[in-house]
Every structure is written in C-alpha cells, then in structure tokens.
C-alpha cells in the first residue's frame, strides 16, 4: 500500500484514475503482471522505498519498458505522471 509522507496517511484511492485507466489499457495483462511482480519483489525486501529510484534511469530490456513505450507512447511528460501509478 502506498503511504503519503506529506499527508501522513495511506493512499486508498487512485489519483487521476481516468489517466491511469488510459495508460493501463495500452499494456497487456501479462506486461502489467510482470511489472507488479517485479515491483513486489523489490518492495518486499525493505519497509521504505523511494519511488524515483525504482526502476532506475534505463528501462530498456526491463519489464518496465512497456510503461514508457506503450502506456505513455514515449511521452516524457506522461511518463512522469504514470510513474506515480505504476511505481508508487
């Protein structure tokens, strides 16, 4: 579950749900599951993670690549917003 340090509480809703649904519709269920599994594998190792460090700066040949290439249509501005949804 996501936690907002600024607000001091857990996030129990999807901010900008309309945008998320659009981005999510552009990747396959298999791609989405691979992203979720990879994130869970990383997150399960510690209590606190900085989302900007996941997955790193080079996504090529990783499970995260479809977020940039397909979900965001290689739009850098959209990618910055989408990271909130896919990488927490």
* pLDDT: which is higher, 22 or 52: 22
Q: What is the dihedral of CA 35, 41, 44, 45, to 10 degrees?
A: -130
48 lies in some domain: yes
pTM of full prediction above 0.85:
no
Percent pLDDT > 70 in the chain is 81
**Domain for residue 1, yes or no?**
no
The answer as to whether 11 is a domain residue is no
Radius of gyration of the chain (CA): 13
Residue 7 lies in a domain: no
- Pairwise pLDDT comparison (41 vs 15), residue with the higher score: 41
Rounded to whole angstroms, how far apart are CA atoms 35 and 31?
6
For residue 5, the model assigns a pLDDT of 80
Range of the domain at 77: 16-87
Number of domains in the chain: 1
DSSP H or E segment with residue 6: none
Distances in Å between the Cα of 43 and the Cα atoms of 7, 49, 54, 66, 78 are 21, 7, 10, 20, 24
């Amino acid at each position: 579950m996501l936690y907002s340090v600024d607000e001091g509480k857990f996030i129990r809703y999807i901010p900008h749900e309309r945008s998320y649904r659009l981005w999510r519709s552009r990747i396959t269920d298999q791609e989405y599951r691979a992203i979720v599994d990879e994130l869970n594998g990383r997150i399960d190792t510690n209590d606190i993670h900085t989302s900007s460090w996941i997955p790193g700066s080079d996504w090529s040949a990783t499970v995260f690549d479809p977020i940039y290439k397909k979900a965001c249509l290689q739009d850098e501005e959209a990618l910055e917003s989408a990271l909130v949804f896919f990488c927490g």
